Structure 1
């Protein structure tokens, strides 16, 4: 009997070990962020309803494109049982990210969540911040960088081949678009109840050259910082 009991305890212990989440390895060149961020699939974001952890959620996974705001509204209208939106994305269309965030905010009480091990980067930040209540789970990654006009590098390279006049015109257009987007970002943060210091102290500082401590221009907020900047409102923090 004792042998059977010991075997049962051993089996239970192995089950607990197996269920323990894997450790997240941090980037040696950027210790604020994971070495291999799980920011979703490298294709247009998909929206999938699923039952997860006792909740009926909408999983948003992939690159943000211009169709997301419309598709997101259609998905939420089609399934009134959706309680939360779980998101992982490497970003994409910055303006579409803002619009998608506003779509989410139009559904009172809607929760957005970055689960453990998932990464929400760039334009994804603004989709996530649309949540009426927002959760960055321990081990979830809210990753930021400096925002620029979508696709500007490739477009500039093409314009260089077309001549200096076209390059000058295009760079001017990109600067105007980037300034407009910065204004839209600021307005968005105010409307969503996020501290403006998130832009001035974190997001728009990441345009600076990499430092010895952080050799990339990406930065991942700590649990203290997501509370400090109200990315995760204090009243929702567990």
Structure 2
């Protein structure tokens, strides 16, 4: 949160002074999004509040473990997020669980919530991005495993065409699901069209940028953060 007497301009000037990623200049050089290979859910108490930390990769069973954690640790006052993303559809499922439970979400100072983590965060009916917290977006891709793509393409035109068809179909479905999710969560769909979908899916050529960190003003503009 912005401290009393400190303007948004002052806060964003301080953020800009942090060393930047040369390939993704909207983001800090280092993003703390946890290295756990499976998302972990742990409870701790902070300022008389019960906080559930959600940290690490969003794996196939993350939503199931979140469901169990919500039951085990009830009541929970907030969920804090730190993740490099992972399974996009599981991220949506986890976000829906949080919305149903009515628990606020937060990205604390220095923590980063990237990719599928965005959708878990947006599940909170009340959403905080603290000063120094990073809500990091990108254009999703189903072609991240280049070796697998090359293996398919090397088998001939028919295999390549089938792969492209599958990718196009699944991408269209996921884009539709993301759009519906934002509507349900009360987040502007322009977050997709004006920010997420304008990022490059794969770094190539002279422009290596593949992700974008929202400014505080952008987070408010798209209703990603709706509380301070």
TM-score > 0.5, shorter chain as reference = yes
1:26 CA drift (Å): 2.2
Contact 2:84 2:113 in 1 (8 A): yes
Sort the Cα spacing of 1:150 and 1:130 in 2 relative to 1 into closer, same or farther, 3 A: farther
Sort the Cα spacing of 1:112 and 1:195 in 2 relative to 1 into closer, same or farther, 3 A: same
SS of 2:25's partner is strand
1:142-221 matches, within 5 Å, as 142-149=135-142, 153-207=146-200, 215-221=208-214
Sort the Cα spacing of 1:150 and 1:135 in 2 relative to 1 into closer, same or farther, 3 A: farther
1:42 CA drift (Å): 4.3
Unpaired stretches in structure 2, ≥5 consecutive residues: 1-16
1:210 CA drift (Å): 7.3
Cα separation, 1, equivalents of 2:24 and 2:153: 33
Name whichever of 33-42 and 214-223 sits farther off: 214-223
Q: Is 1:50 aligned to 2:44, yes or no?
A: yes
Contact 1:156 1:171 in 2 (8 A): no
1:161 CA drift (Å): 4.2
SS of 1:103's partner is helix
Q: Equivalent residue for 2:11? A: none
Q: Is 1:123 aligned to 2:111, yes or no?
A: no
Q: Is 1:77 aligned to 2:94, yes or no?
A: no
1:56 CA drift (Å): 1.1
1:128 CA drift (Å): 0.5
Give the aligned length.
212
Cα separation, 2, equivalents of 1:203 and 1:189: 13
Please report the TM-score for the alignment, with normalisation by the length of structure 2: 0.85
Q: Rg larger in 1 or in 2?
A: 1
Cα separation, 2, equivalents of 1:121 and 1:208: 14
Residue by residue over 1:87-118, the C-alpha shift from the partner in whole angstroms, topping out at 9 and shown as x without a partner, is 1111111111111111111112x111100000
Q: 1:26 aligns with which of 20, 27, 40?
A: 20
Residue by residue over 1:173-210, the C-alpha shift from the partner in whole angstroms, topping out at 9 and shown as x without a partner, is 01100010000000000000000110010000113787
Cα separation, 2, equivalents of 1:146 and 1:31: 16
Name whichever of 167-176 and 46-55 sits farther off: 46-55
SS of 2:27's partner is strand
Unpaired stretches in structure 1, ≥5 consecutive residues: 1-22
Contact 2:88 2:116 in 1 (8 A): yes
Q: Is 1:35 aligned to 2:26, yes or no?
A: no
Cα separation, 2, equivalents of 1:209 and 1:41: 22
Contact 1:144 1:218 in 2 (8 A): yes
For the aligned residues, what is the CA RMSD?
Answer: 2.3
